[in-house]
Every structure is written in structure tokens, then in C-alpha cells.
Structure 1
Amino acid sequence: MRQRLINKTEPQETLLQGAKISGRSAKVADAGISLQSLLLDSKISKEDWIEGLKHHSKTLTNLLLNDQIEEFNQYLGSQFGPEVSEINKNLIDIDYRPILQDLLQTAVLIEHSTIPPYLTALYSIKDGTNALASQIIRSVAVEEMLHLIMVCNVLNAVNIQPSVNKPQNYPTYPMKLPMNVDFYVGLETFSANSIATFIAIESPSNPLVKAPVYEQETEGTALFAKRAAVQENNLWTLENMKGFIMEHVHTIGEYYDVLFFYIVVFQIIAYYKEHGSLPQNFSELNTGGIFTGDPAKQIRPEQYYGSGGKLHSVEALEGVIAVFQEIKGQGEGADDSIFDVDPSQFEEGAELAHYFRFKEIFHEHFYVGGNYKPFMDENGMMPVTTPPTGKSLEVDWNAAYPMKQNPKLSDYAGNNELYAQGLEFNKTYRRLLDAIQSAVEGNQRELEKSIMYMYALKEQAVGLLKQPLDSQTNAGPTFEYTNL
């Protein structure tokens, strides 16, 4: 797990307060609805189940994803008594595999859904322009591919075959991410509008972030189904768990928090079924249980040929923690920082999280080197919405091809040559996903082909982007599924 420094000594009481329990959630905690009751009491009302899920998922996730292992052990001991008075047979007997397959494949879809929009904006930038903006977008796209592969590692760890290259795994644009968001993601040319969408995609779940140190000089598609009615005493169903996400999850980081809690729940139940008691510490919960996958299918750091970020293999719960820390840190920042890891771990080269990198492009300024005292509170925290105020980042918004928004291959049906080019691009993208699919099935050397396909994708995309469709717009890549 990643070494945490900023919050390492924060006591459990502070973390529980940091969970922002209010209203009925506080009442649930005060009323003594323990994690044990939430999981095993078949008589709990749906209202209390939802509020208990809010409270305990945030508390447990804050502890484990911030490496507060000692505090987690105290929390677990306080929640799980030596005897189990109530048993929810529906949860004990549940088949966790189709549930985790659905939820983790949705995570794969989320990561996949960001890659074509980022690549489209990148490819649409005309050669020789917007060098810094291109570098930022390219680095984020590569890291999203890393995230997709690491979620596949989690799937393999719980012995579920990942799927990335089937028609149902393809995002269809424009689309909403499968959670409670009010914006659409689509394929657009590089513009202030597309970058604003990317900022919305990567939005942090916390409203405040630690301000960077001031320096004078610096260099620098398938969507969830609607929640179905369930029996009062059978709350732990896929429909209910997805329904909770659709109602209460607003960011990708929050999705991973709730997903992580669900994984821990099934690991707790697996431990109970094997030992007849509830786990009392992280060591008991870490290994075994649902982690029955073949380690030979894991993609490891030495087998990944991307740049940026760190790839983590998964063979136990600690591997899931490392994966989710990496994904959340790269997307929205780690340890209340704008950086994707705690910058105090490095002498140089600390990188901003995706959200803040995109804000640098949008506002045409860097964060590091800016003076944020006007935005800071007494604890050195500032709103995540604070714009960068460092040195200028030159952006030419006009130096991009005027691509038709969300193009489809059918748009090119009247031009045989253009249609053939669009089809060939989609075949190359399919081959890229096929290589990843083969790799996550245990043929890791297939990842080497992905570099070749990425180069081919750019050349083919630019070939499309240079061709006018009408007096105002050009063609562009469509990223649609196609048979080879």
C-alpha cells in the first residue's frame, strides 16, 4: 500500500468526524447500528440500511484507503462482537461473483469511457501547436489505460474473467457516466468545452484541498438499471447496491469508495463462512476469502509498457487498496493534495492529479508557483474550484481541427474512401483492446502490441480529422465496435 504521510497520525476520532456524518447518519451511529447489524441483521429497515451504508462505507473506506490500519483494527473490534446474534441468511448465502462482476465491469466501462474522449481531443490538436496541453492530455489518457488494466487485475484476483473488447464493453457517445451525474461525455475536438467536460469527469469528492506551497519560480454504455423493489429483509442485492450508487455517488472517486466497501463486505462474509466468526483485524481480512484468482493472470509493473503512474498487481485486499489509491490519487488527488501522490515522498517530479492538470489547460496557468493565500483557510486548505495562479500555460484554442461532435461511421456512408478510413481506425482500436484482453487472460506479452496500435491510431485519426464533412466540420474518429 502507498505510504501515507499527511494523515498518518490522525486519530480515529478525527477520521470519523471527517466522514461528515450528519442528520440521520449521525442518528444511525448514535443509535448503535453497527457494521455487524448492517451486514447480518435481517430485520433492519431499508431506511436504516441506506443510512448505515453511508456511514460505515465512508468510515471504513477512509481508514483503509488512507492506510490507517491500527485505527481500522480498533474500528473493526468495536463493530464486531465475539458472538453473532443475528444472521442475514440472504447475505450469507449470496453469490458475490455476479455482483462483483457487474460492479467491477462497470468500473472498467468508466475507465474505458474516458479514453476515447481524451484521445480525440489530443489527436485533434494540430501538429506543432499546444505542446504542453498535448503532453497533459496524453499523460492522462495513458494513466486511464493503466486504471483499466488495474481494475482487470482486481477482477482476476477474485477469479472473474475481465472483459474489455466485447460490444457491451464499448461506450456509446454521447453518454452519461453510470452514476449520479448531470453531464454528458462525448467525442469533441480540443476546446474549452471539451476540457471543461474532462474537469467534470475527474472532479474530486472532497470540496477542499491542501494548497500547494507558494514558489516564486517554477519550471514547469450500458447504464445502471433503475432500482427495483426488494423484500424488506433482503436488502443486499445487486439492484439495491447499484441503486445506492445511482442515488448517492456523484464522482468517480466516490464510485471507487463504495465499490471498495462492497468488496470488503464480501470478504467479511467469506471470512465468516470459513471461520464461523467475524474478523477482528486487517490481517485476518487481508488474504483468502474471495481472492481465489490465478496469480499468473496478474499484469505486473515489469509487463506494462505505459508511462505515468504505477501498476499494482492484486492477490489480496492490500492489492485492491493499492489499486484504488492509485486510481483515486491520479484522478482527484491524494491526501487532500492537488498531487496524485504525497509530494513529500519525492525530491522532484511530483505530478498533479488529472482534475488539476485539466484545470491548468482550461485556465491557461500552472498551479505550482502560484500564490493561494487569498483562497486558503487557517488550515492551509482551499476549495478544489480554486483556479491555478502560477506562470502562464500557453494555449491556442483555434489550433484544432473543427471535428463534427460525436461522429458516427454512418456519417461517412456517402464517401467510400472516408468510410473505409473510419472503419480501419475502428479496427485498429479493436486490435488494441484485443491485445489488452489477451493480456488480462494471462498472455501478458500481448501488451507489447499496444504501443504499435497507439501509434497507428494517431496517424489514422489525423487522416480523418483533416477531411471536411461540410462547410463547418471535419470528420473524426468514432471509436465504434467493429468485427475484424
Structure 2
Amino acid sequence: MTRIVDSNKPFGMLFDRARGQLSAEDKAAGDSRKPLQDMAQLAIMVEMTTIPPYLTALYSISDPNTEAYQLLRSVMMEEMFHINQAANLMVAIGGRPKMTGSFTPTYPCYLPHANPDTTPFIGLCRASVEVFNDTFTAIETPAPPHALPRGNNYSYIAQLYDMLLLCLEQYSGAQPLFEQNPDAAQRIDIYLGKFGGKPILVTDLASAQLGVQQIVQQGEGSVPESQSMIPIEPWATYNGYGQRTDGTYGPIIGSPYELSHFKKFRTVSLDRDRFPPTYPIISNPKRSDFTNPVALELAEVFDLAYSVMLDSMERSFSSRAPGANDTFFTLALPLMHQALPTIARQLMTTPAHANTNSDVGPNGAPTYLYQPGSNLAALGKRLQSSVGVVKQNIDDPADREELVDALESVRANIDQLATAQHIRHA
């Protein structure tokens, strides 16, 4: 009989496996830590699943000088830290983080292994009060006191991390638990700028707990028994976190050093009157939605750049020789800061259908489809051909020039990255 795999639960019954009921795949792996490695991989995938929806909403806000934009951008940066910390844990227990192929989320979807009855259905939509309130705050809602750890059908992300820590604490397999994968590497140098989080090198249970604690407190925050689930009063009494006077990192009672992601999203959703204007983009776009060849071209170019970025991120957790190319800083980070936002915003101001008004819409939006085998050379060539598509299909000289200049700017940046890669490998 062919076993049907639920794509929303790619790792089967994680709790049962981690507690000793090993699957045939676990036994074939020859590593008693395989269920725990899958739990760490699941944590990476959960964090990864939040990024395209947050990015779509971020790019759709036309004015970056707004609180909604800045708070969402800060969340995005901290989600990158969460992925990094979950990946460090994965490497520490003998695994190797995966961010491409079948491990890349497709939309719309639920968080992997989440309870579909209690967690939001997540799509790629422009920013709105409703998206912040009904989707983003729901993703980051803190677990109530005494919520049980859950590896499957969790209602709160914190439950998943609690289960991961519980299984680490109770591990009794043949292999040493914290024995790093020799073909993988942890990262403690991820650049966060002014945003919170201190990457932890995971070497034992205590450092694993500290890393997970940062992820949960920075994302969902925590709710003590004396407080209601979603209070109206200021949150700083228990929802602040940061560098404490004893040198540790965690909650600071009474100090609003940094708001949790939940609080940031709720702050935006409650300030309805000041919500910023957005581009009129298609929700949950598909390639078939675009009849305008320029919109389709931009969507495909975005996916190519997105795929190169994901490949670069994944490779950055591989072991490398001293002085070898670090694909996080030389590829992933530049693509995130320059290519992706530039292409996305051009797409979001391009009508999905030819001869329609971009001020009215519907306009295009990124589809976030992973393209295997993508590379800088292919991206550079595709950008060059995209300029030709624009010149052939946009009649207005000013609009045509603006889009050509944007694509040429991205292509110049890609050429610089490719040259730097060549020099490092020479």
C-alpha cells in the first residue's frame, strides 16, 4: 500500500518518534537523533513559512516612513535571527539545515504541523489592518500558561519549541546528543543591525535552551498567570526583553527594551486610523494570474533571485575551509537588501493585465516559487532579457525608463556579486 504523506505534516508523528516509536526512516538513518533533527528542521520551516507573507505585506506598503512598515521590517530581521538560531541547534545535534526544494513553503498554507482549527491560513497578501490582526498576530500569539508541549497540531509556536526542548531533555539514544555535524557549521556572526537577538553557539542543553528562549520570547513573548491572554494595558511589565545587568539575555521586568512580534503586530492593527497606503496587488498570486507579459516577467525574475538567495542561505550553514566564500554575506544578504525589494516593488506597481491602471490594480506580486538550479549567471542573463520585454511592452516613455533603470540597477548589483564570487574562487 502506498503511504500518503500529508504535505502539511512532512515529518509524521514527531512526538511519538521522539519518544521512542521510531519510523522505518528513523531506523534506516542509523542515527537515534533523527526525530530530534526533524523537529529542529520543522522549527526552521515554521520560521521560514512566515517570511514571504511578512515580506509581501512589507513591500506592499508604499511609504516606508511609517510605523507599520518599520515595525514589520524589524520583525523580518528578527525572523532571520530565529532561522539562524534554529539552524544552529540543528547542526549541534548532527543535522544539516534545509531551506530549498520540498523544504520551501508554498502558499497559501498553514504552518507545518500546526492545528488547522486553531491557527491561521496564511497567504501572500498586501498589508492591511485585517492581515496584521487576523493573520500576523495569530501566528505570533503567545501560549497561555500551562499550554502543553506539542510536536503535532500545536496551536501556538511556543508549544512546538517546548516539545523540542522536552525531547532534548529526555533524549536517551545511542549517539551523543550534542555532537555537531562535521559537514555543517553554526553561525554566530549573523548581522542584525540594530535589531534584537544574540546568536548562540549550541554545544549543550543549556545553550540550546537559551537559544530557544530567545526565539520564543522575541516572537510570541510570554503570558504569566496573573495577566489576561491579550491585555489592554501596557505590555512592558512582562513582555520586554534584552541584555540584562547580569550579562544574560531575556525578559526585563518593567522595561520595554524591545517589543515582541505579537505586540508589534497588535500595535499596528489597533492603530487603524494611521494605517499606511498600500499597492493594489493580487492576493496569493499565481503565474496564470498575469496576462501582462511585463508582470509575468518580473514575477519570474523575482522567483529566480529568491531561489538564489535560498540556496545561498542553505549553503552558508555548510562547513567551509578558512578563507572560503561565505555565501550568507556575499550572496544571501545582498540579494535580500537590494534585488528582492527592488524587483518586488516594481512588480507591485505593474498591472497584472495589460492596458489597466496601476493605481487601481490589480497589480502583480511575487509568487515565491523555488526554482531548482538557479544561479547568479542565469539571474544576470534573465535580467538582461527582462529589459527587452519591458522595452517591447511599455509604451509610456517615463514608465518604461523607470522600470528599465530599476532592472539595470539590479543587474549591475548581480554583476558585482558575480565578479566578487569569481575573485574569491580564483
Class of the TM-score when normalised by the shorter of the 2 chains: 0.5 to 0.7
2:345 aligns with one of 462, 466, 477? 462
Q: Cα distance, 1:308 vs. partner?
A: 2.7
**Contact 1:332 1:340 (8 Å CA) reproduced:** no
Equivalent residues in 2 for 1:391-430 (5 A)? 395-397=274-276, 399-412=277-290, 414-430=291-307
> Is the alpha carbon distance of 1:128 and 1:101 closer, same or farther for their aligned partners in structure 2, counting shifts above 3 Å?
closer
1:235 aligned partner: none
Q: Report the Cα distance in structure 2 between the residues aligned to 1:333 and 1:146, rounded to whole angstroms.
A: 16
**Contact 2:292 2:352 (8 Å CA) reproduced:** no
1:187 aligned partner: 124
Q: Report the Cα distance in structure 2 between the residues aligned to 1:194 and 1:184, rounded to whole angstroms.
A: 11
Deviations 1:99-156 (A, max 9, x none): 1232222111100000011111000000355x21111001111111111111111111
Q: Report the Cα distance in structure 2 between the residues aligned to 1:103 and 1:318, rounded to whole angstroms.
A: 18
Q: Report the Cα distance in structure 1 between the residues aligned to 2:46 and 2:212, rounded to whole angstroms.
A: 14
**Contact 2:240 2:256 (8 Å CA) reproduced:** no
1:167 aligns with one of 97, 101, 104? 101
Q: Report the Cα distance in structure 2 between the residues aligned to 1:89 and 1:140, rounded to whole angstroms.
A: 37
Q: Report the Cα distance in structure 1 between the residues aligned to 2:166 and 2:102, rounded to whole angstroms.
A: 26
Q: Is 2:313 aligned against 1:436? A: yes
Q: Is 2:91 aligned against 1:156? A: yes
Q: Report the Cα distance in structure 2 between the residues aligned to 1:331 and 1:422, rounded to whole angstroms.
A: 30
Q: Report the Cα distance in structure 2 between the residues aligned to 1:416 and 1:292, rounded to whole angstroms.
A: 51
**Contact 1:304 1:311 (8 Å CA) reproduced:** no
Give the letter for the 1:167 counterpart: G
Identity value in percent: 31
Q: Report the Cα distance in structure 1 between the residues aligned to 2:273 and 2:326, rounded to whole angstroms.
A: 39
1:355 aligns with one of 262, 265, 268? 262
Q: Report the Cα distance in structure 2 between the residues aligned to 1:410 and 1:100, rounded to whole angstroms.
A: 39
Equivalent residues in 2 for 1:106-117 (5 A)? 106-117=42-53
Q: Report the Cα distance in structure 1 between the residues aligned to 2:125 and 2:332, rounded to whole angstroms.
A: 24
> Structure 1-normalised TM-score?
0.59
> Is the alpha carbon distance of 1:400 and 1:89 closer, same or farther for their aligned partners in structure 2, counting shifts above 3 Å?
closer
> Is the alpha carbon distance of 1:89 and 1:191 closer, same or farther for their aligned partners in structure 2, counting shifts above 3 Å?
closer
**Contact 2:305 2:335 (8 Å CA) reproduced:** yes
Q: Cα distance, 1:172 vs. partner?
A: 1.2
> Is the alpha carbon distance of 1:192 and 1:345 closer, same or farther for their aligned partners in structure 2, counting shifts above 3 Å?
closer
1:67 aligned partner: none
Q: Is 2:107 aligned against 1:206? A: no
Q: Is 2:204 aligned against 1:316? A: yes
**Contact 1:157 1:295 (8 Å CA) reproduced:** no
> Is the alpha carbon distance of 1:461 and 1:333 closer, same or farther for their aligned partners in structure 2, counting shifts above 3 Å?
same
Deviations 1:18-37 (A, max 9, x none): xxxxxxxxxxxxxxxxxxxx
Q: Report the Cα distance in structure 2 between the residues aligned to 1:445 and 1:204, rounded to whole angstroms.
A: 35
Q: Report the Cα distance in structure 1 between the residues aligned to 2:184 and 2:308, rounded to whole angstroms.
A: 20
Equivalent residues in 2 for 1:44-59 (5 A)? none
**Contact 1:305 1:447 (8 Å CA) reproduced:** no
1:299 aligns with one of 186, 194, 211? 186
SS of equivalent residue, structure 1 residue 302: coil
Q: Report the Cα distance in structure 1 between the residues aligned to 2:83 and 2:204, rounded to whole angstroms.
A: 18
Q: Which runs of 5+ in 2 are unaligned?
A: 1-14, 225-237, 243-249, 354-359, 375-426
2:33 aligned partner: 97
Give the letter for the 1:301 counterpart: I
Q: Report the Cα distance in structure 2 between the residues aligned to 1:108 and 1:152, rounded to whole angstroms.
A: 7
Q: Report the Cα distance in structure 2 between the residues aligned to 1:89 and 1:434, rounded to whole angstroms.
A: 33
**Contact 1:253 1:328 (8 Å CA) reproduced:** yes
Q: Mean alpha-carbon deviation: is it higher for 318-327 or for 176-185?
A: 176-185
Q: Report the Cα distance in structure 2 between the residues aligned to 1:425 and 1:99, rounded to whole angstroms.
A: 35
Give the letter for the 2:61 counterpart: I
**Contact 2:58 2:127 (8 Å CA) reproduced:** yes
**Contact 2:51 2:79 (8 Å CA) reproduced:** yes
**Contact 1:303 1:445 (8 Å CA) reproduced:** no
Root mean square deviation, CA, Å: 3.2
Q: Report the Cα distance in structure 1 between the residues aligned to 2:98 and 2:22, rounded to whole angstroms.
A: 28
Q: Report the Cα distance in structure 2 between the residues aligned to 1:203 and 1:345, rounded to whole angstroms.
A: 20
Q: Report the Cα distance in structure 1 between the residues aligned to 2:114 and 2:251, rounded to whole angstroms.
A: 31
* Structure ranking higher on relative contact order (CA contacts 8 Å, 6+ apart): 1
Q: Cα distance, 1:305 vs. partner?
A: 4.9
Q: Report the Cα distance in structure 1 between the residues aligned to 2:21 and 2:139, rounded to whole angstroms.
A: 39
Q: Report the Cα distance in structure 1 between the residues aligned to 2:182 and 2:268, rounded to whole angstroms.
A: 40
> Is the alpha carbon distance of 1:143 and 1:113 closer, same or farther for their aligned partners in structure 2, counting shifts above 3 Å?
same
> Is the alpha carbon distance of 1:335 and 1:175 closer, same or farther for their aligned partners in structure 2, counting shifts above 3 Å?
closer
1:237 aligned partner: none
1:146 aligned partner: 81
Equivalent residues in 2 for 1:276-291 (5 A)? 289-291=176-178
**Contact 1:143 1:309 (8 Å CA) reproduced:** yes
> Is the alpha carbon distance of 1:408 and 1:304 closer, same or farther for their aligned partners in structure 2, counting shifts above 3 Å?
same
1:327 aligned partner: 215
1:132 aligned partner: 67
Deviations 1:74-103 (A, max 9, x none): xxxxxxxxxxxxxx8989x99533312322
Q: Report the Cα distance in structure 2 between the residues aligned to 1:297 and 1:89, rounded to whole angstroms.
A: 27
If you compute each CA radius of gyration, which structure gives the higher value, 1 or 2? 1
Q: Cα distance, 1:445 vs. partner?
A: 2.4
Q: Is 2:335 aligned against 1:453? A: yes
Q: Cα distance, 1:409 vs. partner?
A: 2.4
Q: Report the Cα distance in structure 2 between the residues aligned to 1:299 and 1:255, rounded to whole angstroms.
A: 22
> Is the alpha carbon distance of 1:132 and 1:409 closer, same or farther for their aligned partners in structure 2, counting shifts above 3 Å?
same
Q: Cα distance, 1:457 vs. partner?
A: 0.7
Q: Report the Cα distance in structure 1 between the residues aligned to 2:81 and 2:51, rounded to whole angstroms.
A: 11
Q: Which runs of 5+ in 1 are unaligned?
A: 1-51, 58-87, 209-241, 275-288, 365-392
Q: Report the Cα distance in structure 2 between the residues aligned to 1:264 and 1:410, rounded to whole angstroms.
A: 48
